[in-house]
Amino acid sequence: MATHTTRMLIIGSGPAGLSAAIYGARAGMQPIVVQGLQPGGQLTITTDVENYPGFRDVIQGPWLMQEMQAQAEHVGTRMLWDTITEVDLSGSPFRAIGDSGDIYEGDTLVIATGAQAKWLGVPGEQELSGKGVSACATCDGFFYRGKKVVVIGGGNTAVEEALYLTNHSQDVTLIHRRDSLRAEKILQDRLLAHPNIKVLWNKAVDHFVGGDTGLTGVALKDTVTGESSVAPTDGAFVAIGHAPSTELFKGKLEVDAGGYLVVQPGTPKTAIAGVFACGDVMDHTYRQAVTAAGTGCMAALDAERFLAEKDFQAAKG
């Protein structure tokens, strides 16, 4: 067991955590990034990335995260392989304990633990992930321009994704297991009025149909009659929500109804001075790599200001 100390401790190594590390290292805070169960975050399971600024051609998600990590290390970040199992936020230095038994202490703490898309857990879903099955229309919708797509879900996320996909497809189908939507009424009205969207009510996904060439359809079961059917499609978007990785902080930081960490509007500041949250762990609206990176930058800048003020007050005595 060892104790690692730093001016900036970062939990999570996706775009938010690594951007915070880059800015923190350049400010001389010698940040430590504890990488967690999924080093690199959700982009490591994303193949084609076409909407991250600065790249003319399609790039690969894992490659982008390798480059971000290399940049963070190049400017002075220490990357440590561990999974945090417990945190103490009662005062600075903030303390985290890893699965390894190592202890991490930071004068500031940046939480960048991200969120995971919820999946249906039906046959074919993981096998066809990236081959027609996706959990992010804004990430992957462009690849289905002019093709037939379906969206699975009935809440705000599903309706928003179905509406977004009409920018690329004239044949969008929303599949919902009930006979009414849970989305906000204004979203429902827009969806139901859209000429390029149809809804299949009372249909649950039994499995995804396809093979080596990719997805070809979605096998459905009627939740009322039990009747089976197949909806042919080129792309299927699972939109049943996200689960933010906030278990560590329950009871220690405020979370909203969806489980996301609550921050001061327009900032990454939590209710505890010196503790910042960035990326998908606090963002249930945008959930993009570029917005995660942006809030990671904000967290590092705010952490630097927090420490500068603290040092100034200490020098005054």
Check 82, 107, 139, 297 and give the catalytic one.
139
d(CA 282, CA 14): 14
Candidates 309, 301, 302; CA nearest to 26 is 301
The answer to whether 172 and 160 have CB atoms below 8 angstroms apart is no
List all residues 6 or more positions away from 43 whose beta carbon is below 8 Å from its beta carbon.
14, 15, 49, 61, 62, 64, 65, 289
Check 136, 234, 278, 280 and give the catalytic one.
136
The residue type of 166 is T
Work out the burial of residue 121: count CB atoms within 10 Å of its CB; fewer than 13 is exposed, 13-18 middle, 19 or more buried.
exposed
Angle at 203 between CA 198 and CA 209, to 5 degrees: 90
The answer to whether 222 and 230 have CB atoms below 8 angstroms apart is no
Cα dist. 217→154, 164, 210, 214 in Å?
A: 19, 21, 7, 10
Candidates 131, 14, 149; CA nearest to 72 is 14
Check 82, 88, 107, 140 and give the catalytic one.
140
- Tell me if residue 140 is catalytic: yes
Which is it for the CA torsion 132, 137, 139, 143, positive or negative?
positive
Instruction: Go through the chain and tell me how many residues it has.
Output: 317
- Tell me if residue 297 is catalytic: no
Cis-peptide into 93, omega within 30 deg: yes
Helix ranges (H only) for 76-198 are 137-140, 156-165, 185-193
Question: Which residues are catalytically annotated?
Answer: 136, 139-140
